[in-house]
Amino acid sequence: MGLAIILFTLLIKLILSPLFVQSIKAQRSMQTIQPKLDELKEKFKDQKEKLGPAIMELYKKEKVSPFSSCLPLLIQMPILIAVFQVFRTGLINGSFELIYPFITNPGSINPVSLGLVDLSKNNLVMAILAGAAQFWQSKMMLGHKKNQPQPKSALAASMNKQMLYFMPIVTAVIGASLPGGLTFYWLLTTLLGVVQQAMVFKKMDKVAA
Residue 15: CB partners within 8 Å, gap ≥ 6? none
Tell me, yes or no, if the pTM score tops 0.95. no
* 145 vs 173 pLDDT, higher one: 173
pLDDT tens digits along 94-136: 555 656 666 666 566 677 777 777 887 888 988 999 999 989 8
- Given this model, what pLDDT does residue 61 score? 82
pLDDT given for residue 209 in this prediction: 73
Give the E-state strand segments of the chain in sequence order. Answer: 112-113, 117-118
Q: Where are the domains of the chain?
A: 2-22+75-208
Q: Could you tell me which residue, 93 or 185, shows the higher pLDDT?
A: 185
Go through the chain and tell me how many residues it has.
209
Task: Judge whether 112 and 119 are in contact, CB under 8 Å.
Answer: yes
Q: What letter represents residue 81's amino acid? A: I
